[in-house]
Each structure stands twice: as C-alpha cells, then as structure tokens.
Amino acid sequence: MALIQCNFYAESLGLSTTMSVILPEQTKTQIGLTNVVHSLRHPTLYLLHGLSDDHTTWIRRTSIERYAAALGIAIVMPQVDRSFYADMVHGNRYWTFISEELPRVAQSFFPLSEAREDNFVAGLSMGGYGAFKLALNHPDRFAAAASLSGAMDLTDPRCLTWWPEVYQLVFGNQKVEGSNSDLLHLVSTLGSTTDAVQKPKLFQCCGTEDYLYDQNVLFRDTCKKVGLDLTYEEGPGDHNWEYWDQQIQQVLRWLPLRKS
C-alpha cells in the first residue's frame, strides 16, 4: 500500500485543503501490462472523520492501511473541519466540497473507479452521519455506506446541548427537519421510491454505552419500517477508538466488493 498526503486547492472552499489517501500497490504482472495498467481503477472507500478529528485520524488511531491491504481498495480521507458535512451558514461549503468536488478531484489525481458499484463511504460519529448523508442523497453514486456510532438525528433537541456552538455555526436558524441534512427524512423518502431506484446497502453499528445509542436505534427502526437494506450491529462499547478500531475491520469485511 502507498500512503499519500495530498494538498490541493478546493474551488468550493476557496482555500487549500488536504486529504490522506491509501492506494493499493500493483503487482509485477500488472506493472508489466502497461496497456492494462492504464485502465486499472481501484474501488474506493471515502472514510470520514468525526467532530474532533481530521484527515489523519484514521491512520493515527487504527491500522486502517494494514486492514485494507488484502482488499485492493483505495481509501480517501478528506478534511472537513467541524462542519457536519454541510454547507455551513457561518462557515464554508463543505457539503458541496464533499459531495461534488472531492470525488471529481480524487478521481483526476488517482486511478479510482467512477463506477457506482466500486464506490463506498463510511465514517465515525459526525463522519457516520456524513457517510449516510452522502449515500442517501446520492444513491446513484454509492453502492454502500457504513456508520460507526453516527449522529443519526440532527433534529434531536439534545444536539443543541451537545454541540451548541458548532450547531449554530453549521445550521444557524435553518430548519434541519425535512432537509437534505435530516437522515430520517432521507430514509423515509428513499424507502418510498420504486424498486427500480438504486438504493445503497447500509451498515450501522453503535455501542450500547454510547450517548448516541438511542438515535441509532431510531435510525435502525426507521430503515426496517421502509425496507432499506440495513445490516445493524450493537454490543458493549462506548464512543471511543477502542470500539471504532474493532468495527472498521467489520465494515471492510462487509463491503460488497466486486470479485476480480
């Protein structure tokens, strides 16, 4: 595997930003087949950070590079500050960045597949919310999404107590309920569409001691009600890296990677 720290200018943000990228190594056979190598494009997992983290946190806190080594998958870890993956009322346009510019830029820099069936997104806490927000708003782009201890309901009044300053910077006086930032609304909307519409596979896990546990149960029950393809796991665990380091390994095993 190759680990790349990529610094680049993001037009949607109007500033330079960075992402950490893990790329699979090509075999000697692939390197020898130059005409084939140019067409090789890797399946990609966009791996999102939490509220107090950045683009380096998955590398520093877990062995994600080692876990992914046998899968032939690229991992893109962007930096989005404390944005809740939104176009902030008092801040930058991180939703536009993460949903529109980042995939385009990453695919132009690196040999990443553009095919829906090769694109996945996962994250923890705020990043778990962001992962489901991406997949539920753009089911045509992502085949699967995973949330680890995600913030599943930003309409919950307790959010104003948990993250008062951040919440005001991100949403201000905007109404979250019924918007593209309301995961429960997105689930209900997608679940009510026809079977012909592509719907991502979802993986959700949360520790039973986590302060976001009841939000995760609510999201699980909403998915079951509308019939979305959700794999749900719970068990002893808190909102910490001991739990997430274990569960990201389960996420990688669960990903519906195409067999070469």
Closest CA to 125 of 170, 163, 90, 164: 163
Q: How far apart are CA 260 and CA 242, in angstroms?
A: 33
Q: Does a structural domain hold residue 260?
A: no
Instruction: Specify the CATH number for the domain of residue 214.
Output: 3.40.50.1820
Q: Give the mean model confidence (pLDDT) for residues 228-252.
A: 98
What pLDDT does residue 27 have? Answer: 61
22 pLDDT higher than 90: yes
Q: How far apart are CA 4 and CA 22, in angstroms?
A: 6
> What's phi and psi for 195, nearest 5 deg?
-65, -20
What pLDDT does residue 140 have? Answer: 95
pLDDT band per the 50, 70, 90 thresholds, residue 249: very high
Q: Does a structural domain hold residue 22?
A: yes
pLDDT band per the 50, 70, 90 thresholds, residue 45: very high
Give the tens place of pLDDT for each residue, 71-122. 999 999 999 999 999 999 999 999 999 999 999 999 999 999 999 999 999 9
Q: Does a structural domain hold residue 192?
A: yes
Q: Does a structural domain hold residue 258?
A: no
What pLDDT does residue 195 have? Answer: 64
pLDDT band per the 50, 70, 90 thresholds, residue 40: confident
Q: How far apart are CA 128 and CA 220, in angstroms?
A: 14
Give the tens place of pLDDT for each residue, 163-208. 999 999 999 999 999 999 999 999 999 988 866 678 999 999 999 9
The parent domain of residue 111 ranges over: 2-253
Dihedral sign for Cα 248, 251, 257, 260, please: positive
Q: How far apart are CA 121 and CA 110, in angstroms?
A: 17
Q: Cα-Cα-Cα-Cα dihedral of 233, 236, 238, 239, to 10°?
A: -10
> How crowded is the C-beta side of 96, counted as CA atoms within 13 Å?
11
Q: Does a structural domain hold residue 14?
A: yes
Global confidence as pTM: 0.94
Q: Does a structural domain hold residue 180?
A: yes
What pLDDT does residue 37 have? Answer: 47
pLDDT band per the 50, 70, 90 thresholds, residue 28: low
Q: How many structural domains comprise the chain?
A: 1
Q: Does a structural domain hold residue 142?
A: yes
Q: What angle, rounded to 10 degrees, do the helices at 213-226 and 183-191 form?
A: 10
